[in-house]
Chains A and B, each alone.
Chain A
Amino acid sequence: MTIFRDLSQHILDIAENSITAGAALLHLTIEEDSGTDGLSIVIRDDGRGMSTEMVAQVTDPWVTTRSTRKVGLGIPFLKQVAEMCGGEFGIVSAEGEGTTTRATFQLSHIDRPPLGDLTGTLLCIVVGSPGLDVVYHHHTGEGDYDIDTRDIREVLGDDVPLSDPEVLAFIRGALTEGLMAIGSEAAQSG
């Protein structure tokens, strides 16, 4: 079906592209809407962006910017899983203007992979890339959860990194509580 077992891994994969593109700020917005039976995931970065030609080709598995292998499977597989689940996929990008990746799904589609461990994915992004900030917005029918790592950095100052073990535990706890409070499907994982 797809190379990843759940959507949180797809999100991490796309975020890795943003990191490679030199992003300093990543916007992740997830909306679970049982009313419209829709799930949407939008990842927007302020990295170097892609040319028009690259955007047109990026969903081709034989197109990649990495030099270690000849294939780039992340984007083509996300596109495939979205489309196979009654949803849509789109990438908007311009050189110097960042990239926005959007994948939607029919929430109740039988083949739709679970959201998975979003907390694990976010911690991975935050730890692995010290220069990156994340603005995360998650909406469900029960409410909204927001976290902005810039707010956390402001409290910590320059001397304590987000990757400090106690800070990570704090963020992990905040994410777990937040997702549980809005009844997100992702609250059951990780």
Chain B
Amino acid sequence: MKSLDELRQIKERALQRKKLSGEGSRARVVVAMGTCGIAAGARDTMSAILKELEQRDIADVVVTQTGCLGLCEYEPIVQVQVGETEMVTYGNIDTGRVPTLIEDHVVGGAVVEAWQVKGN
């Protein structure tokens, strides 16, 4: 049974991690969550991103969402920005593509050009 004690322990561990890694986030991942995105599976894509980061024990990547970007034919859309580099927009990111996206771009810093949607 989940308890507040467990939550307090989680808090302590998180504060410890924060102390070690410092303030700020290494990268930002944005998932488009408009009606078109949800219909294309964006929620499952976001779940896969969160699970992938959890499995890799990555705690300094911020994951947020945004509304419809007007690129409905490319949904699910995921945007990745590592550090101060340019934000890259990716299209058709289903759950199958998430591990590669995290591995190559979020962790490795290399843009996955095959999935990039340009001219946004």
Contact = CB atoms under 8 A, between A and B. Distances in A.
Contacts of B44: 120
A62 B35 CA distance: 14
A20 interface: yes
Given A9-B38, A168-B54, A124 B59 contact: no
Interface stretch (A24-32, A36-44, A136-144, A169-177): A169-177
B105 interface: no
Interface residues on B, range: 35 or more
A33 to B, nearest CB: 26
Interface in B8-32: 8, 10-11, 13-15, 18, 31
Interface in B23-58: 31, 33-36, 38-39, 43-44, 46-47, 50, 53-54, 57-58
Contacts of B8: 155
Interface residues of A, number: 39
Contact of A127 (B34, B50, B70): B50
Contacts of A160: 10-11, 14-15, 18
Nearest to B63: A127
Contacts of A130: 64
Overall SS of chain A's interface:
helix
B114 interface: no
Given A124-B43, A124-B47, A156 B7 contact: yes
A174 B1 CA distance: 8
Nearest to B36: A69
Contact of A3 (B6, B10, B11, B39): B39
30 contacts: A3-B35, A4-B38, A4-B39, A9-B38, A12-B43, A66-B68, A68-B34, A68-B68, A69-B68, A69-B72, A72-B35, A73-B35, A120-B47, A124-B46, A127-B65, A130-B64, A152-B7, A155-B7, A155-B8, A157-B11, A159-B18, A160-B15, A163-B63, A165-B54, A166-B10, A166-B13, A167-B10, A167-B14, A170-B2, A174-B2
5 A-B pairs closest in CB distance: A68-B70, A128-B65, A174-B2, A160-B14, A74-B35
Interface of B: 1-2, 4, 6-8, 10-11, 13-15, 18, 31, 33-36, 38-39, 43-44, 46-47, 50, 53-54, 57-59, 62-65, 67-70, 72
